[in-house]
Amino acid sequence: MSPDRGLLVVGTGLIGTSIAMAAGLAGYDVMVDDVDPARLDLAISLLARGGRPWQQEPVSVAVVATPPNVVGSVCQQLLRTGLCSTVTHISSVQLQPQLEVESTLSLPAEFVGSHPIAGRELSGPQHASPDLFRERSWVICPTGRSAAASVEAVVGLATDCGAVTRVMSAEDHDALLARLSHVPQLLASALAASLVGMDRASVALAGSGLRDTSRLADSNPDMWLQIVAANAAAVAPALRPVVDRLASVLGELTQQPPAATGPAVADLLAAGRAGRDLLTGKHGERPVPWATVAVIVPDEPGALARLLGDAASAGINVEDIRVEHAPGHPVGVVELAVQPAGREPLHRELGRRGWTTTSSPPRTG
């Protein structure tokens, strides 16, 4: 096969194996490598359209999908072989590997950073999927010296994997991801950490708010330690205003005599709403927020399917679903999000079919 479509993936964890799967389906000649022979074997056995161990053949694109702390050195090694027309990686942090490569190789034209924003709270090739990148964002970070052909090759790979690409500098990427991903991780972990020492029966009184707010704390601590350490220079200025704001709130809450008006708390709550408006596209890409219909659903096989079948028979598309479980109880409340015009018809149709429902006005996601 021509080296034009030769793709080397180094590191066969969740992301690397998923890229190998997606690229294989898109017609690339996929080769894989890993320092762990057992993981490499597992990954190869999972690659439906083939994928073989790399044996130092020349390749068009090499993707370094190793843990963050060795991305820079593995990129250097590959660049030194002269076998790769383009070398990229998939790290959540862009500047540190770029600086590592630059430290000995004065930024070769073959090097282009990239970051598919498609992680999950799982790892390992056994959880890989060729669809992991479908409709997800994939940021491409050329250096000042990246060859146009190499940038195109990485954009092409990301597109072939089904992702939507966006090009920006490593510095911009790292500052952005610090705010959108790394600080949220630290806050979720800090919140979950504050539960340590409580008894389970007390924690069980928590509503879905605490569960949602702390979900990211399930992520892999080793990987996140590397990410936060590698992006410390961008995480610190992103975290500082959050800590300062919370410290102001704390100061206000402990003021003697107690403050009557609470400007710090009021500012925090108001700014929080304004920030959410940016995120949920309330005034942006989703001009019409969804309406919800809440339904009581028994915990038995087929109940959800029956509910959604009944919704579909009303001709209404369910845009989102949220299932609220009451631990140890045989029923749950399911919230169906629909276009506002669909709320009343859905409410009526489900009521007619015997479901206990209550409809609510628009909410945003």
| Local structure of residue 111 (DSSP, 8 states) | B
Place of tokens 């003021």: 255
Of residues 37 and 287, the one with the C-beta less far from a copy of itself: 287
| Local structure of residue 283 (DSSP, 8 states) | T
Shortest distance in whole angstroms from residue 135 CB to a copy of itself: 3
Determine the distance from the C-alpha atom of residue 8 to the mean position of all C-alpha atoms in its chain, rounded to a whole number. 24
Shortest distance in whole angstroms from residue 2 CB to a copy of itself: 29
The answer to whether the CB of 219 falls within 8 A of the CB of 182 is: no
Of residues 90 and 217, the one with the C-beta less far from a copy of itself: 217
Shortest distance in whole angstroms from residue 45 CB to a copy of itself: 15
Shortest distance in whole angstroms from residue 89 CB to a copy of itself: 18
Of residues 131 and 171, the one with the C-beta less far from a copy of itself: 131
Of residues 7 and 336, the one with the C-beta less far from a copy of itself: 336
d(CA 91, CA 113): 8
Shortest distance in whole angstroms from residue 67 CB to a copy of itself: 15
Of residues 109 and 195, the one with the C-beta less far from a copy of itself: 195
Tokens of 239: 């975290």
H or E element: which one contains 325? strand 320-325
Of residues 31 and 334, the one with the C-beta less far from a copy of itself: 334
For residues 309-327, b (16+ Cβ closer than 10 Å) or e, as one string?
Answer: ebbeebebebeeeeeeeee
d(CA 75, CA 81): 10
Shortest distance in whole angstroms from residue 298 CB to a copy of itself: 10
Tokens of 271: 């700014």
Shortest distance in whole angstroms from residue 262 CB to a copy of itself: 5
d(CA 10, CA 76): 13
> What residues pair up with 89 in beta bridges, in sequence order?
64
Of residues 48 and 149, the one with the C-beta less far from a copy of itself: 48
d(CA 88, CA 143): 11
